[in-house]
């Protein structure tokens, strides 16, 4: 048995990047502002004009808004992003993208397009790691049959990734959380 170590082979390179979850003060939806605090913030923001075509807005606490375009189509719009809840960058991108698209499906719609929301500590994470996060999100969008048509990036202290997801639904087939709550209360 040869116990000789070949010193001519390069050693595996050790990553100097931190674990993704070590860069988050909270993970996933755990970072959301508490509903009572958000309610106070929105009250202090003043009243908004609500057009008649807005079928679902902030009053139902749904994760998406729905705007009637015509008698056959309504646009679903949602935004969802968060900090890492896993350390694998590709998995983080997949989880964040799936979470954003799930709101379109929950409203009864079909996704048509997404925009990426990317905030990364570019002095801490490599472009390779950030690229893997985006590739994970892109893979979910490809499975849904939609493009990531653009987005917005910032240099931030904590890694943040998610999507603006847009979808289409028939105006009479919108699943609204408020209606579900009322149905439960009535029965």
Q: Which residue numbers are catalytic? A: 29
- Rg over CA atoms, the chain: 21
Pairing of strands 110-120, 65-68: unpaired
Query: Torsion angle of alpha carbons 35, 41, 42, 46, nearest 10°?
Result: 160
Please tell me the number of Cα atoms within 13 Å of 81 on its side-chain side.
Answer: 21
> Which residue, among 82, 35, 28, 81, has the nearest Cα to 58 in the 3D structure?
35
d(CA 122, CA 124): 5
Work out the number of other CB atoms within 10 angstroms of the CB of residue 66: 26
Phi-psi region of 151 (alpha: psi -120 to 50; beta: other; left: phi over 0): left
């Amino acid at each position: 048995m040869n116990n000789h170590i070949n010193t001519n082979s390069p050693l595996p390179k050790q990553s100097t990047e931190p674990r993704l979850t070590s860069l988050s003060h909270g993970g996933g939806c755990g970072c959301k502002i508490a509903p009572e605090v958000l309610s106070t913030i929105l009250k202090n923001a003043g009243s908004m004009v609500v057009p008649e075509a807005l079928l679902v807005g902030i009053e139902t606490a749904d994760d998406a808004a729905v705007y009637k375009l015509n008698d056959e189509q309504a646009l679903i719009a949602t935004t969802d992003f968060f900090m890492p809840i896993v350390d694998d960058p590709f998995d983080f991108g997949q989880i964040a993208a799936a979470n954003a698209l799930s709101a379109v499906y929950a409203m009864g719609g079909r996704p048509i397009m997404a925009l990426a929301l990317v905030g990364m500590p570019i002095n801490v994470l490599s472009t390779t790691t950030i690229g893997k996060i985006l590739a994970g999100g892109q893979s979910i969008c490809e499975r849904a049959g939609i493009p990531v048509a653009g987005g917005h990036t910032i240099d931030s202290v904590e890694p943040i990734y998610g999507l603006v997801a847009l979808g289409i639904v028939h105006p009479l087939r919108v699943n609204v959380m408020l209606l579900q709550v009322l149905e439960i209360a009535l029965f």
